[in-house]
Amino acid sequence: MPAGPTEQGAVERRLLTLPEAARFLTIGVRTVKALIAAGRLPVVRPSPRRVAIDLRDLEAYVASRRS
């Protein structure tokens, strides 16, 4: 069964753009791109030209950085 509009919106809300992810992590977009390139931050490609980051992945990254 396909996701309804409410369910689809909830899924979409978990995906952040690179600038949103940078604000969440309080770092620059260049640093987010470097983390992605290094394989330390996974991305989701909802379309061929769009790159997004799942909020859960950002939270996991922050948790892994705690000392």
- Report the CATH number that the domain containing residue 37 is assigned in CATH: 1.10.10
Q: How many domains does the chain have?
A: 1
Does any domain span residue 4?
A: no
Contact predicate 22/32, CB 8 Å? yes
Rounded to two decimals, the pTM is 0.77
- pLDDT tops 70 at residue 6: no
55 falls within a domain: yes
Domain span at 24: 12-65
Higher pLDDT, 13 or 17: 17
User: Is the residue at 49 inside a domain?
Assistant: yes
Residue 1 lies in a domain: no
Q: Is residue 6 part of a domain?
A: no
| Dist CA 41 CA 58 (whole Å) | 8
Confidence grade of residue 39 (pLDDT, cut at 50, 70, 90)? very high
